[in-house]
């Protein structure tokens, strides 16, 4: 399988990134750049070709490229970010995906949708509602994905920025989350509560390998005990900005 991932170099203004649920603490931009390099190197070491979306230096949050698009099969649904500051970020992602041959659709005003609110697994697409994504955004996404056979399900989200800040899925479909921050864990079965917040964020690298943050060592052990291979990277500077491992890439398959 051809495995490629979009990434986007951090803006020099990264430290000005938006905050919703966290207090602002200083971000070390040089360290963030090194952590981003480490993230990209980890993807490459696991056999993923990385493709850089043109940088958006005027957009502090542009490194969180996941929020700009939802890719499903051969279709790229360009997001319409819920935060006005982030709306200009989508242009570069759209250009890159057009260049790669993707069909392109758009979330149109007044709907809003951030890619970080969209969790996909095996034909089901869960969309977090209550933060950056609204019902109109969800309905538009559902209309775009219906011809591709996806079932789109809205889920409540009030305690964290994005759905994938609360939950992600392991390769076997088990949804993992830090329970205090999950509005309604009964949406998912099986659901696995993990002991650390950053432990809830995994990027699937292959059928038995996940990428996660070094900030969640107990959860790492839990995953390894389930037979998963874990690649861990330092994410501290992005975590200060309510980002995590999922936000820094868009995986393309096929």
247 is catalytic: yes
For ligand CIR, which residue of 6, 7, 27, 66 counts as binding (CB under 6 A)?
A: 66
- Residue 243 touching ligand CIR (CB under 6 A): yes
The dihedral sign for the CA sequence 42, 45, 47, 51: positive
- Residue 241 touching ligand CIR (CB under 6 A): yes
Piece in contact with ligand CIR (CB under 6 A), picked from 123-131, 141-149, 181-189, 237-245: 237-245
For ligand CIR, which residue of 247, 249, 250, 252 counts as binding (CB under 6 A)?
A: 247
Q: Please tell me the distance from the alpha carbon of residue 97 to that of residue 76, in angstroms, as a whole number.
A: 7
Q: Please tell me the distance from the alpha carbon of residue 125 to that of residue 194, in angstroms, as a whole number.
A: 22
- Residue 165 touching ligand CIR (CB under 6 A): yes
| 104 exposure class (CB count in 10 Å sphere: 0-12, 13-18, 19+) | middle
59 is catalytic: no
Tracing tokens 């990027």 back to the chain, one arrives at 203
Could you tell me how many residues of this chain bind ligand CIR (CB under 6 A)? Answer: 19
Opening angle at CA 62, ends 129 and 133, nearest 5: 10
228 neighbors 44 (Cβ within 8 angstroms): no
- Residue 161 touching ligand CIR (CB under 6 A): yes
| Residue span 87-116 as binding mask against ligand CIR, x where in contact by CB under 6 A, dash where not | -----------------------------x
Comparing CA positions, the residue from 83, 200, 185, 179 lying closest to residue 126 is 185
Residues engaged in binding ligand CIR (CB under 6 A):
17-18, 20, 61, 64, 66-67, 83, 86, 116, 161-162, 164-165, 241-244, 247
Q: What are the catalytic residues?
A: 162, 247
């Amino acid at each position: 399988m051809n495995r490629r991932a979009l990434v986007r170099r951090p803006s020099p203004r990264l430290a000005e990134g938006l905050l919703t649920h966290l207090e602002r603490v200083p971000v070390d931009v040089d360290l963030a750049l090194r952590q981003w390099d480490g993230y990209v190197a980890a993807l490459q070491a696991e056999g993923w070709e990385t493709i850089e979306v043109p940088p958006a230096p005027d957009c502090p949050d542009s490194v969180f490229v996941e929020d700009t698009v939802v890719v499903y099969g051969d279709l790229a649904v360009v997001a319409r970010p819920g935060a006005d500051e982030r709306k200009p970020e989508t242009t570069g992602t759209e250009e890159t995906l057009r260049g790669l041959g993707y069909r392109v659709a758009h979330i149109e005003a007044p709907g809003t949708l951030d890619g970080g609110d969209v969790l996909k697994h095996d034909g089901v697409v869960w969309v977090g509602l209550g933060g950056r994504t609204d019902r109109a955004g969800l309905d538009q996404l559902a209309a775009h994905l219906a011809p591709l056979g996806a079932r789109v399900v809205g889920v409540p989200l009030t305690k964290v920025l994005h759905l994938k800040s609360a939950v992600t899925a392991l390769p076997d479909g088990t949804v993992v989350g830090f329970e205090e921050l999950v509005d309604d864990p009964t949406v998912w079965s099986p659901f696995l509560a993990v002991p650390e917040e950053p432990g809830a964020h995994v990027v699937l690298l292959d059928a038995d390998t996940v990428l996660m943050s070094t900030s969640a060592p107990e959860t790492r052990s839990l995953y390894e005990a389930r037979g998963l291979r874990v690649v861990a990277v330092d994410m501290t500077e992005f975590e200060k900005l309510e980002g995590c491992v999922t936000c820094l890439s868009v995986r393309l398959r096929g």
